[in-house]
Amino acid sequence: MNLTPTPGRIVLLVLNTSQAEEINRRRTTGSEIHHKLEAGTWPAGAQAHIGNVVQAGDTYPAIVVRCWAENRVNLQVLLDGTDTYWATTISESMVPNPGFWHWPPHL
């Protein structure tokens, strides 16, 4: 079966090292926020991204938001936390590979 990605379709993204580092870098924890609030160093109006730590090789569902040539897509990746990750110009792989998207298995 030959599927074509279109906006709104759900695919799976396997995170690579740089994607995982980018996600973890912008996240914080409730205790870090608490300490910064007590110290008066939490910026007024700052938005916190809280979620479980991600690692290279982790797989997350993602919604296709834009399609490019050669099955490259932009994705909104649904993370285990309060945030999402915008993955841009991601290529398809027929099997799970870090940094690529693939179709979910059919049951």
| Residue 53 maps to a domain | yes
Over the stretch 48-81, which tens digit does the pLDDT of each residue have?
A: 899 999 999 999 999 999 999 989 999 999 999 9
- Work out how many domains the chain is built from and give that number: 1
pLDDT digits (tens, 9 = 90+) for 4-39: 999 999 999 999 999 999 999 999 888 888 898 899
Residue 30 lies in a domain: yes
* Within-domain flag for 70: yes
CA dihedral sign, ordered 106, 81, 6, 91: negative
Task: Give residue 82's domain range.
Answer: 10-102
User: Global pTM?
Assistant: 0.88
Residue 2 has pLDDT above 80, yes or no: no
Which pLDDT value is given to residue 60?
98
**In the prediction, which pLDDT does 1 show?**
53
Name the strands in the sheet holding 73-78, side by side, starting at the edge strand that comes first in the sequence.
Answer: 84-90, 73-78, 59-67, 10-14, 101-102
Residue bearing tokens 């940094």? 99
- Residues 103, 41: Cα–Cα separation, whole Å: 44
Q: Please report whether residue 1 resides in a domain.
A: no
Q: Is residue 63 part of a domain?
A: yes
| 5 within domain boundaries | no
The reply to whether 4 falls in a domain is: no
